[in-house]
A and B are shown apart, each in its own frame.
Chain A
């Protein structure tokens, strides 16, 4: 079965612009979590969505937002981009709420570069 699909794979944006990233989870999975990966910081939790509801949010400014659709696909949006937003954005999909006891599957990520 198809894995987690993130689009686009690569993105270059200018400071001040906004961007939308997409994540299609594995069929049947209802939870999508988003992480930001940067060298030296590792993976920082952004938010988790389950059945169209945001369950949890990390310590990121309000410029970072997301949503989940009825088909479990999720989008995250970053407005007013800053250079420091350059990172690899990963999403993880799991069957139920991802509490670590259940397995999560990661997409390949979207590499965002802000210039």
Chain B
């Protein structure tokens, strides 16, 4: 079965520092990978996706993600964190067989001033 894992429940980073939120996946076939963000009292918002092509995917709000096939990872990154980036981040993978998106358990990002 397809799955994603987000090994960190929470990531803390100081404002201005680079941030990384980790995601690993397990799929048969080509992976379709996504990152979503959830701000407090808001629904999920799409950040970026990897379907095929360049391993470095650029998304909204200055975020990017690096697809690494050998390590089966799709880590979310940002060069310089902002306090306003504090939110819950979800990695997701497309399960072609089950015809649905499977989400990870989420990682809470806390950016301190």
Known: A41-B105, A100-B32, A101-B51. A56 touches B43 (CB 8 A): no
Question: In the assembly, what is the distance between CA of A106 and CA of B90, in Å?
Answer: 13
Q: Categorize the interface residue count of chain B.
A: 20 to 34
Binding stretch for chain A, among B14-22, B74-82, B94-102:
B94-102
Known: A100-B49, A100-B94, A101-B51. A108 touches B42 (CB 8 A): yes
Q: Categorize the interface residue count of chain A.
A: 20 to 34
Known: A56-B100, A58-B100, A101-B51. A40 touches B46 (CB 8 A): no
Contact with A along B29-47 (1 / 0, CB 8 A): 0001010100001111110
Nearest CB in chain A to that of B6: its residue:
A42
Question: In the assembly, what is the distance between CA of A45 and CA of B41, in Å?
Answer: 20
Extra contacts besides A45-B102, A108-B42 (6): CB < 8 Å: A42-B105, A43-B92, A55-B99, A56-B98, A99-B99, A106-B45
